[in-house]
Structure 1
Amino acid sequence: MIKKFFMPIATLMLLLTVSCKVQHPDLEDGLYAEIITSKGTMIAKLHYDKVPVTVANFVALAEGSHPLAEEKYQGKPFYDSVTFHRVMDKFMIQGGDPTGTGRGTPGYRFAADFDASLKHDKGGILSMANSGGINTNGSQFFITEVPYPSLDAFDSEGNMKPCDQPRVSCHSVFGELVQGIEVQDSISNVEVIDPRSRNHKPVEDVFITKVNIIRKGREAKKFDAPKIFEEQMPEVEENIKEQMAETRRKAEEKKLAAEEKKAEVAAEFKPTLDEYTAKAKTLASGLKVHYITKGNGVKPKTGQTAMINYQGYFTDGKLLDSNLKDVEEKFGMLNPMKVQRNMYAPSPMKVSPDAPLFAGFKEAIASMRVGDKAFFYFPSHLAYGESGRPPVVQPNTDLAFIIEMVDIQK
């Protein structure tokens, strides 16, 4: 009798021990996606606390419980046996399309939610793929191999980009790899059909064998993906539109402030322009010139290239353009693109009647020597003339420039 009673208890204890075994004991509390592929296994931590709708979409699809999925996908794991259909080395791997073409959907589209703290700032970032706009997300996702900040929905100041506009990339980061980054790398390195024709489909299919959702801790276990998606998804698009409207409002305020600063600085600088104009000598062509500093360098020959610093102004003192950083900063016109391209430096300009410069500018630099810094007043017929250069320079506009010749290119 004792032997008969002992065996069932021992079996029960063994079953309890097995059932209580902790899954992935190395993972801290949180919600995870275990992505098992034909190249190995990756584990991504999902940011369900920051982008609940996007995470709920992914989790519900993975577990076969998505309320909007087509009937043929209901009740079964969506991602099992799906391929990575688009693979780009030093960029990302993309999967989640049941057709493997890049055009497939789970039967619906939705607006993904965003969080400004989640960025495409390193390899292993899990993010939603879409076809542009704010409500074209479905089942497709990608995992980055390198940082790719242009995919962020927010700019460097934390303002939402105009995600509803064409050619504006806004992708929702909803997780990041905590294990298996080397698997991502191995997939991104596979041979693809023809990258030159933008066909980045692997020559040999790379499969997602299975996606398992791992819940660790009380909060993660309470995450009800279908319910969260249905209840919170309708609010997302409206929230995005409100954030974009706020960005536009800030941009308009910034623009108005910049215009006020330009006008203020221009008013301060106009007396200097007026003084130089009054002192200027009028040449036969109508060009007016006043030397601020006379140099003793050589005069460039026709066909040579001079290195020029310039400041271009409208006659009311407002700045048109300059390659001097401090001048553009003073007028609130510092251009980040010019900083990035090292354009705040002497500009090479060919001294020639055929140079791509307006007539007065060609005459001005042809008259200068290295070391000269001079003020030139260009009547409109020596500047952009009757056509102008809209929208910046209107037709029949006089311009004033301060030009310095710093060297002749060897």
Structure 2
Amino acid sequence: MAEGTKFYSKDQQAFPANPAGKPYFDGLIFHRVIKDFMIQGGCPLGNGTGNPGYWLPDQFHPDLKHDGPGVLSMANSGEHTNGSQFFITHAATPWLDFTDIRAGNHSVFGKVVGGLDIVDAIAGVAVSGPSKPTTDVVIESVRIIRAGEKAEAFEATEESIDQMLRDIAKRQMQEIQEALKIEPTDSGLIYEELKPGTGEFVKDSDTVTFHFVAELVSEANEFGRVFADSVNPRPAPLKITVKELAIMLPGVAEGVKLMKKGGHAMLYIPPALAYGKLGFFAVRVPAHSVVLMEVLLSDVTPGG
């Protein structure tokens, strides 16, 4: 958007309303200013309600925090609702940091390395009401300075972003495989048995009952980003036919068929066997996410 290479809508009436080639942010204002907190801009309507006509997913890294003045971060209205609005902190704001995938919060993507005095000056302007500057603070221009061959070659298209996410997922699965020293199945699933079960292996025709905890793998390859489970707020195991499970989450169905009743396993599921390129907004799973699911298979009912 900043470079004018992506279509967008500023008036919210039609999409695309503005042709590629016109920089998005030039001429917009800082519509929200709160001293000792942050300054916010990037709204095409100048009132905090506008967006470019589409949303971008949350992107978190455990090392990126709102730990002082000058941190550049995405404003949003909830999980995966990043549009064009951003803010620059005027002080440390740790309550905006990412803590849990279900809590959401704000994606840090940059830092002011020169001109903090300008941030101070904007934060100190007179405001009406709680935070609206009495005189417009205008963003004259936003320009991206590319350093290095990779940066010069990078194009922020849907295709390039999609490929970047695919590459991240591929790397994560490779690192998991190397750490566990377990070969994946032909489909790419990595199955780690924690406790063997008894009886026969689960079949396609069976109905299974199991507890689970589902987590995302962060870009730093850390676990613990729980997005769904059958334990909290109270235990409620999932009962489902294997055929239905294969339609919903083929990687889980494949993993369950490697188990016996009473078995306990970890499933490391590549995106193609989980939520794919679309992700799953309802449980806050971004596109091309590697999913780790812990499964405790409590019962197996043979099918007809």
**Bigger helix share:** 1
State the Cα distance separating 1:80 from its structure 2 match.
0.4
SS state of the match for residue 87, structure 1?
Answer: strand
1-structure distance, mates of 2:121, 2:5: 31
1:181 alignment counterpart: 116
State the Cα distance separating 1:137 from its structure 2 match.
0.8
> Structure 1: which 5+ runs fail to align?
1-60, 155-159, 164-168, 256-410
CA offsets, 1:187-208, max 9 Å, x none? 011111112xxxx110000000
Q: How many residues align?
A: 179
Q: Indicate whether 1:193 and 2:128 are aligned.
A: yes
- Asked if the contact 2:7/2:16 (under 8 Å) is kept, the reply is no
State the Cα distance separating 1:223 from its structure 2 match.
2.0
Equivalent runs, 1:262-281 vs 2, <5 Å: none
Q: Supply the AA of the counterpart residue of 2:142.
A: V
2:88 alignment counterpart: 143
1:82 is aligned, of 28, 36, 41, to 28
Cα RMSD, aligned residues only: 3.4
1:129 alignment counterpart: 75
Q: Indicate whether 1:242 and 2:216 are aligned.
A: yes
TM-score, normalising length: structure 1: 0.39
Q: Supply the AA of the counterpart residue of 1:148.
A: T
Distance 1:251 1:85, change over 3 A: same
CA offsets, 1:84-136, max 9 Å, x none? 00000000000000100100010111212111111101110000000012x21
SS state of the match for residue 186, structure 1?
Answer: helix
Q: Supply the AA of the counterpart residue of 2:161.
A: F
> Structure 2: which 5+ runs fail to align?
10-14, 173-213, 234-304
- Asked if the contact 2:66/2:89 (under 8 Å) is kept, the reply is yes
2-structure distance, mates of 1:194, 1:114: 33
Q: Indicate whether 1:63 and 2:3 are aligned.
A: yes
- Asked if the contact 1:127/1:173 (under 8 Å) is kept, the reply is yes
Q: Supply the AA of the counterpart residue of 2:46.
A: G
Q: Supply the AA of the counterpart residue of 2:148.
A: G
State the Cα distance separating 1:181 from its structure 2 match.
0.7
State the Cα distance separating 1:251 from its structure 2 match.
11
Distance 1:250 1:97, change over 3 A: closer
Equivalent runs, 1:10-409 vs 2, <5 Å: 61-66=1-6, 70-75=15-20, 76-133=22-79, 135-154=80-99, 160-163=100-103, 170-195=105-130, 200-226=131-157, 227-232=159-164, 242-243=216-217, 246-248=224-226
1-structure distance, mates of 2:155, 2:5: 10
2-structure distance, mates of 1:230, 1:82: 29
Distance 1:108 1:74, change over 3 A: same
State the Cα distance separating 1:231 from its structure 2 match.
4.0
- Asked if the contact 1:67/1:230 (under 8 Å) is kept, the reply is no
